[in-house]
Amino acid sequence: MENKTPAMDIEKLGKVYTRGKEEVTAIQEISLQVPEGKFVSIVGPSGCGKSTFLHIVGGFIPKTRGTVRIRGKEVDKPGPDRGMMFQESALFPWKNVFDNVAWGLEIQGMEKAKRDEIVEHYLKLVNLWDFRNNLPSELSGGMKQRISLARVLAFNPDVLLMDEPFGALDAQTREKMQVELQRIWQESNKSVMFVTHDIDEAVFLSDIVVVFSGRPAVIKEIIEIDFQRPRTLDVHKTQEFMNIRNHIWDLLHQEDGKSDEEGM
């Protein structure tokens, strides 16, 4: 059997937060392997530890136990091999779209000609090249998130970590962004770990959906989604999609109250 190094390899990860004298176990123990090029979503009850998990993989917060490897290399702090995207776009309001995407490359010391070429490539990939001279305030929420995505991709990270990136968008824009993200992901060929509250979003986008239990998080189930790509929004109407969605819904509702009660 082929034995390829996974893009992300999380082994026996545990996280305990300390609040004064109190200890909060956010993650009991999670092991997860994300194969190269796959799109993996994480869903789970509110407060179960999804963001904590993603931020540990990103190296933004320290783990208590376990190991995180990106393409076989152990990591415990942020690095250019991991690109992170959040719910809010965090663009510089005083810089135009082009300069927002160029910024990270500029501080890396990349020469201008090369930088300009990369920025043009990614702004075209997210279909916003015509808006390169606009300020973020002149753009819609969906456009801002596409620029954030262009900015992250411009760094050419090995893996993309996304924490509810469409959480602040209206339902229709959100669906359009899912279709766009699928296209961009297929063209860029990255491995993705995507945290969402939205079951439909997870099923539509993913090769694999990982369902977390209530806090402290463990993996409740790993579900493979094998609808053909590229998927269109019509896939929502198929019986198979509805069956998977209902199954995940049942798994999450078995967990009702567990995280919130303890997490208050």
Ligand X SMILES: Nc1ncnc2c1ncn2[C@@H]1O[C@H](COP(=O)(O)OP(=O)(O)OP(=O)(O)O)[C@@H](O)[C@H]1O
Binding ligand X (rule: CB under 6 A), the pick from 48, 105, 147, 149 is: 48
- The reply to whether 42 sits near ligand X by the rule CB under 6 A is no
Q: Which is nearer to ligand X, 46 or 186 (CB)?
A: 46
DSSP classification of residue 6:
P
In eight-state DSSP terms, residue 50 is H
CA distance 104 to 119: 10
Helices (DSSP H) in the chain: which residue ranges?
Answer: 50-58, 97-107, 112-125, 141-154, 171-188, 199-205, 239-253, 258-263
Which secondary-structure segment (H or E) carries 223?
A: strand 219-224
> Does residue number 26 form part of the binding site for ligand X (CB under 6 A)?
yes
Residue 24 in contact with ligand X, rule: CB under 6 A: yes
Q: Which is nearer to ligand X, 49 or 142 (CB)?
A: 49
Tokens 């239990």 belong to 213
Q: Closer to ligand X by CB, 46 or 243: give it.
A: 46
Beta bridge partners of 196: none
Nearer to ligand X among residue 24 and residue 179 (C-beta): 24
Identify which of residues 24 and 235 has a Cβ nearer to ligand X in the complex. Answer: 24
Spatial distance between the Cα atoms of 136 and 114, rounded to a whole number of angstroms:
24
Cis peptide before 230 (omega within 30 of 0): yes
Stretch that binds ligand X, among 16-24, 103-111, 119-127, 173-181 (CB under 6 A): 16-24
* Residues between 215 and 234 with contacts to ligand X, criterion CB under 6 A: 215
Site string for ligand X, 121-160 (x = CB under 6 A): ----------------------------------------
In 155-198, where does DSSP find H-type helix? 171-188
Cβ-in-10-Å burial (0-12, 13-18, 19+) of 158 comes to middle
Binding mask 180-209 for ligand X (x = CB under 6 A): -----------------x------------
Q: Which stretch binds ligand X (CB under 6 A): 43-51, 80-88, 121-129, 174-182?
A: 43-51
Positions that interact with ligand X (CB under 6 A): 17, 19, 24, 26, 44, 46-52, 197, 215, 263
